[in-house]
Amino acid sequence: MDCPDCGNDRTRVIDTGTSTDGMSVRRRRECQRCSFRFTTYERPEWNSLQVKKRDGRIESFSREKLRAGVERAVEKRQVTEKAVTDVVDTIESELQDHETCIVPSRLIGELASEKLRDLDQVAYIRFVSVYKAFSEPEEFLRELDAVLDAELDDFGRSTPQNLSDNL
Ligand SMILES: [Zn+2]
């Protein structure tokens, strides 16, 4: 980092800290020739979609991971390979349209449950049970009730017993 004052390329770091938003590293530098002091900010360059996890960690979006989650939910259901690809494609493009490069993992979970709900009710419940069960058990049970009620209304022949056999 060249000195902004005299152009000397030898500067030393005299203090390092984190910026207030927590997203960059702030370095106080001093030119070794003219002793001019200045501050630099270093931030990661997000050139691809990043996911912020519940615990605050940030990792690159993985299409494979999303696909694996969807596939697990639709296992042994009447859902085609193409339908799975469509769900993954739609979610990915909705995430790309998001105004920031960092999306919360919760958003991916919500988008996936939304698509699965339209695709297959059992897959939907399986998915929601995996991604919501630990943090929001009550909400999960409410959703389960709602789906079971809907199945009974839509297809009089279904019973809660044989639906849970499928889970
Ligand atoms: Zn200087």
Domain count, the chain: 2
Do the domain assignments include residue 126?
yes
Residues 98 and 150 placed together within one structural domain of the fold: yes
* Residue-wise pLDDT tens digits, 1-24: 789 999 999 999 999 887 766 667
Residues 99 and 156 placed together within one structural domain of the fold: yes
* Concatenated DSSP letters of 59-112: EE--HHHHHHHHHHHHTTSS--HHHHHHHHHHHHHHHHTSSSSEEEHHHHHHHH
**Confidence band of 28 (pLDDT split at 50, 70, 90):** very high
Average pLDDT score over residue span 78-85: 93
Residues 87 and 138 placed together within one structural domain of the fold: yes
**How many whole angstroms from 87 Cα to the centroid of ligand 1?**
56
Domain that holds residue 60: 50-166
Residues 130 and 63 placed together within one structural domain of the fold: yes
Instruction: Give which of 86, 91, 84, 44 is closest to 68, Cα–Cα.
Output: 84
**How many whole angstroms from 19 Cα to the centroid of ligand 1?**
24
**How many whole angstroms from 67 Cα to the centroid of ligand 1?**
53
**How many whole angstroms from 22 Cα to the centroid of ligand 1?**
29
Residues 25 and 62 placed together within one structural domain of the fold: no
Taking each helix axis from N to C end, the angle separating 105-119 and 81-96, rounded to the nearest 10 degrees, works out to 140
Owner of token pair 């002091």: 37
Do the domain assignments include residue 4?
no
**How many whole angstroms from 25 Cα to the centroid of ligand 1?**
22
Do the domain assignments include residue 15?
yes
Residues 33 and 67 placed together within one structural domain of the fold: no
Whole-angstrom distance, CA of residue 96 vs CA of residue 104: 13
In one-letter notation, the amino acid at residue 31 is C
**How many whole angstroms from 14 Cα to the centroid of ligand 1?**
14
% of the chain with per-residue pLDDT over 70:
74
